[in-house]
Amino acid sequence: MAKLEIERSRIVNPIDFDKNGRQAGYLRAPLSRNTAGWGIVEIPIVCVKNGTGPTVLLTGGVHGDEYEGPIAISRLARSLDPARVQGRVIMIPALNVPAVLANTRLSPIDNRDMNRCFPGDPRGTFSEMLAHFLDGCVLPYADLSVDLHTAGHSCDSAPSTNMHYVAAPDVRARTMAAAQAFGAPFNVVFWGVDEGATFTSCVERRGIISLGTELGGWGRVSIDGVRVGRRGIDNILKHMRIIEGAPDTSQPDGAKATRHMMVRDPSCYSFAPAAGHFEPTNTAGETVRAGDPAGWLHFVEDVDRDPIEVRYESDGVLWMCAGPGRVARGDVVGVVMNDYAEPATG
């Protein structure tokens, strides 16, 4: 295991990750504020360990306006019996708890996107301090990390796992096998956008298997997303042989397994060319074609101004689509995915 960063972290952890049994408590992150110079922010954490075996790390609430992951993880965290476990499961359902309680993507404390703060800084802003703790004090224990996300308020997503295109063939194969076991309708391999400071990049730098999810969005709880997420994390524990049983990867459409997809080309992304009210054409998961309208930007504040048609630039299946109403110029309004094909080079 990599050297831990515990001495440098300002966060106090009550959990002994080497101890057998179930431990539940709160990480204590210092936050000086008007009501308390020595105040703390409490972050729930549950560790269930029994004997030797692999470690799975489950995180939710990195973005505060994404609900399915925190719900799925906290259900597991309340119910997972150590007697059923061979190995270790570390569960942090609401990591960025200030953003979770504020129902926002960005932290209300420092206005940062925590998933752009990695590998973090123990002396940095609140989000950077949290990122450093996760990377330096928890992640080194893990063999596999599942960080559960949705598309937040800005988009809806087809229920899916996702992973970077990892250059090392063996790591890529193990990651795709884990995604297959999770058993979401889709697994999306992508060549990231602005990725260096994300949690996924940190996990990969440490040589640990990294899976993300997109289980919904639009600022609501997707019933299907919770179902896929709950079954998926159970499936992952089975895949890692931490609990007994075979993963159930059957799909509502009768398919036996997840459909591996990819988002590689910049033409997969459609952006709003102006600020306006966006009227989408499709819902996530639908098949779309290049040249078809992704939607229309309306200028309802103007009389007689025609809407702008925004088009798809790629054939495929809609992974994410906008729908918060108001969009800013440059916001993503659609992401199209295609069936996965192993590229000739990374």
- Binding-site ranges for Ca ion (CB under 5 A): 63, 149
Beta bridge partners of 56: 89, 144
Alpha helices in the chain (DSSP H): 68-79, 97-102, 126-133, 169-182, 199-205, 223-239
Smaller CB distance to Ca ion: residue 220 or 238? 220
Smaller CB distance to Ca ion: residue 48 or 73? 73
What gap in Å lies between CA 26 and CA 220, rounded to an integer? 27
What gap in Å lies between CA 251 and CA 296, rounded to an integer? 32
- How far, in Å, are 67, 262, 342 from residue 72 at the CA level? 9, 25, 32
Smaller CB distance to Ca ion: residue 149 or 239? 149
CA 160, 238, 77, 211 torsion-angle sign:
negative
Please give the single-letter amino acid code of residue 226.
V
Give me the least distance between CB of 295 and Ca ion, in Å please.
21
What gap in Å lies between CA 177 and CA 13, rounded to an integer? 32
Smaller CB distance to Ca ion: residue 157 or 235? 157
Smaller CB distance to Ca ion: residue 67 or 141? 67
Lookup result for tokens 């689509």: 321
Give me the least distance between CB of 148 and Ca ion, in Å please.
9
Is the Cβ–Cβ distance between 58 and 76 less than 8 Å? Answer: yes
Give me the least distance between CB of 66 and Ca ion, in Å please.
5
How buried is residue 25: exposed, middle or buried, by Cβ count under 10 Å (0-12/13-18/19+)?
middle
Beta bridge partners of 44: 26
How buried is residue 275: exposed, middle or buried, by Cβ count under 10 Å (0-12/13-18/19+)?
middle
What gap in Å lies between CA 66 and CA 69, rounded to an integer? 7
Is the Cβ–Cβ distance between 262 and 337 less than 8 Å? Answer: yes
Smaller CB distance to Ca ion: residue 63 or 239? 63
> In the complex, which residue's CB is closest to Ca ion?
149
Token pair in block for residue 235: 């499936």
Smaller CB distance to Ca ion: residue 113 or 279? 113
Give me the least distance between CB of 16 and Ca ion, in Å please.
31
Smaller CB distance to Ca ion: residue 87 or 232? 232
Give me the least distance between CB of 152 and Ca ion, in Å please.
5
